[in-house]
Amino acid sequence: MRTQDTRKKFGDWRRHRSGCDMNIDCPYKRAIQGEAVNIRILGVPLDLGQERRGVDMGPSALRAAGLNAALKDLGYEVEDSGNLHVRIPEEQPFGAKRAKYLNEIAEACRDIAQRVYRTLEEGFFPLCLGGDHSMAIGTIAGVSKFHRDRGQNVGLVWIDAHGDMNTPEISPSGNIHGMPFAASLGFGPESLTGIYDFAPKVQADRCALIGVRDLDSRERGAIKQSGVYVFTMRDIDEQGMRSVIEKSLSLASRDCAGFVVSFDMDVMDPSEAPGVGTPVRGGITFREAHLALEMIADSGKMLALEMVEINPIIDIMNKTAILGVGLISSALGKKIL
Ligand SMILES: [Mn+2]
């Protein structure tokens, strides 16, 4: 209660200080103004898209780390719609080697897309918890379709150690969690690209890929050809996170309704986030991640957020999910002062 009272009291001052355009219809800004704003949480316990087991427990780990209370403390009304029903690997063989569990993942993504669409239609902000990154195909499809029906495009900010730009033809593993960015751009199996019968879901020149440091050999070429804007770890080191995010947000919000933020926890350095599906050394720091997400909050243009690839089995005392809750809070407007 105290937090909300303080927020109401200092609401005007905060708005002046951040210099935000208050005409933007953004959930956290309405929350700062003391309005009831609703966030709907969608858990996606999907781990068919990769081989290391455990990311299906990511939604539970985030809830156990206090996600719902943290969001309520920021002034939001939180509706947790629980977890989607997703098939488990034991239920069926993986099928085609070049795109394992394709039918099951496509089915899950259609379900996610419809739920995200409905969430937006009912005036909620969608917060999707993974689960492996193949779920992004569904999240992005739902947001894209919702705004397409209203004559608008959407952008995409993809924060990840990997490019996720494989297709079955070039993927070394056949794991679909390495393909969702490509699918959202219209490359890959029709069952992934063609949800709602249109593709691509986002235009490459409104997409930023941030934090990459581990690409498959043929994926490199696919990324270069795709036309998305890429900010590698080297770019972050040389230009600084602030500059990288400024550039990313300006291109992802150009002539469109706003952008989806797809945050793969493996972008973090494994020392900060040991519990992820595919850890890679040399990731972004705690401070860089919070800066990035606070700047995203300040922009007021985030249309949906997903946090994926948290794996409690290889985590240390739920450290990674606790970090995840802090990062989600920053993305939704939590400030130091
Ligand atoms: Mn990823």
Residues 184-198 pLDDT 10s: 999 999 999 999 999
Please tell me the predicted confidence (pLDDT) of residue 184. Answer: 98
Residues 150-162 pLDDT 10s: 999 999 999 999 9
Looking at the structure of the chain, the number of domains it has is 1
154's CB contacts (< 8 A; 6+ apart) are 140, 143, 144, 147, 201, 202, 206, 256, 257, 258, 259, 260, 303
Q: Is 197 labeled as catalytic in the residue annotation?
A: no
How far is ligand 1, taken at its centre, from the CA of residue 97, in Å?
Answer: 20
Query: Nearest 5 degrees, angle CA 229-CA 156-CA 312?
Result: 105
CATH of the domain at 286: 3.40.800.10
24 falls within a domain: yes
Among 264, 294, 298, 315, which one carries the catalytic annotation? 264
How far is ligand 1, taken at its centre, from the CA of residue 267, in Å?
Answer: 8
The mean pLDDT value for 300-326 works out to 97
336 falls within a domain: no
Local confidence band at 11 (pLDDT 50, 70, 90 cut-offs): very low
Query: Is 70 exceeded by the pLDDT of residue 26?
Result: no
Please tell me the predicted confidence (pLDDT) of residue 104. Answer: 97
Q: Is 298 labeled as catalytic in the residue annotation?
A: no
Give the ranges where 195-331 is alpha helix by DSSP (H). 217-226, 233-239, 241-252, 286-299, 319-331
108 falls within a domain: yes
Write out the two tokens for 17.
């200080």
pTM: 0.91
CB distance 159 to 172 below 8 Å? no
How far is ligand 1, taken at its centre, from the CA of residue 18, in Å?
Answer: 31
**For the sheet containing 302-308, what is the strand order?**
77-83, 38-44, 125-130, 302-308, 259-264, 155-159, 207-212, 229-232
Please tell me the predicted confidence (pLDDT) of residue 15. Answer: 37
Rounded CA separation 55/85 (Å): 15
Among 47, 132, 309, 315, which one carries the catalytic annotation? 309
How far is ligand 1, taken at its centre, from the CA of residue 203, in Å?
Answer: 19
Angle between the N-to-C axes of helices 286-299 and 319-331, in degrees from 0 to 180, rounded to the nearest 10? 30
The share of the chain scoring above pLDDT 70, in percent, equals: 89
337 falls within a domain: no
Cα maximum dimension of the chain = 58
Angle between the N-to-C axes of helices 286-299 and 241-252, in degrees from 0 to 180, rounded to the nearest 10? 30
Q: Is 147 labeled as catalytic in the residue annotation?
A: no
Q: Is 290 labeled as catalytic in the residue annotation?
A: no
Residues 216-242 pLDDT 10s: 999 999 999 999 999 999 999 999 999
- Residues spanned by the domain of 213: 2-331
Among 216, 219, 235, 266, which one carries the catalytic annotation? 266
Write out the two tokens for 205.
């020149």
Residue with tokens 């629980």: 82
